[in-house]
Amino acid sequence: MKKIDFVIAFAAIAVIFSFISCSGCSGNGTTSTGVSSVAEKDTPSDAVMTVDELLDNAEGLVGKEVEFEGICTHTCSHGARKMFLMGSDDTKVIRVESGDLGSFDTECAKNLVKVKGIVNEQRIDEAYLLRWEDLASNVSEEDAAGCDSEKAARGEQGETVEDRISDFRRKIENRRISEGKDYLSFYYVVASSYSIEDAE
């Protein structure tokens, strides 16, 4: 009887030790800013959203912390301070900024990445478009064009900067008529931690 009690007690201690030693571990390729283990325990694993779910609910999530995952299609070449995660298809893409993390691991590209961070809104209005036009008039088309992944995330249409600005103006006018809002909303996440879920 004492032997069985000893085995049960040993197994319980092993489970507790295993939990303590892993609670601070972020896994392969993870960068973390020290999100508390209490917060991680309070977030059930089924709370991880897809990119599609995040985009569908983004308006109501601005300013809130979310955890989601998607395929990283691209990390920006200038310091890898931005990456883009794709959902069910290439029309479902969200920008993720590194914030205080500094930069993302370039190994994220073409892998499933899980991100925790705060949802932000970027508004495109007439003042934004006027600044863009001014920039475009002083630099080359290539420099003013921006990142292809950024264009995809914002659903930009047109071959030239002028075409894309005109497309945004049409979309703003349509939104003003239908919703009474004279701007477009694009959502992005500032990451507090991330992990590469499957490396090639």
Listed in order, the ranges of the chain carrying CATH 2.40.50.140 are 12-123+185-198
Taking the C-alpha atoms of residue 193 and residue 195, their distance in angstroms, rounded to an integer, is 7
pTM above 0.75, yes or no: no
Taking the C-alpha atoms of residue 114 and residue 159, their distance in angstroms, rounded to an integer, is 33
Nearest to 76 by CA among 155, 146, 164, 160: 146
- Would you say 187 and 94 are in contact if contact means Cβ atoms under 8 Å apart? yes
- pLDDT tens series, the chain, 200 aa: 444 443 334 333 333 333 333 333 233 333 333 333 333 334 344 589 999 999 999 999 999 999 999 999 988 877 788 999 999 998 899 999 999 999 899 899 999 999 999 999 999 999 999 998 988 887 666 555 566 777 777 877 777 888 899 999 999 999 999 999 999 999 999 999 999 986 54
Q: Whose structure tokens read 């205080």?
A: 100
Q: Which CATH number fits domain 12-123+185-198: 2.40.50.140, 3.30.2080.10, 3.40.1350.10, 2.60.40.1180?
A: 2.40.50.140
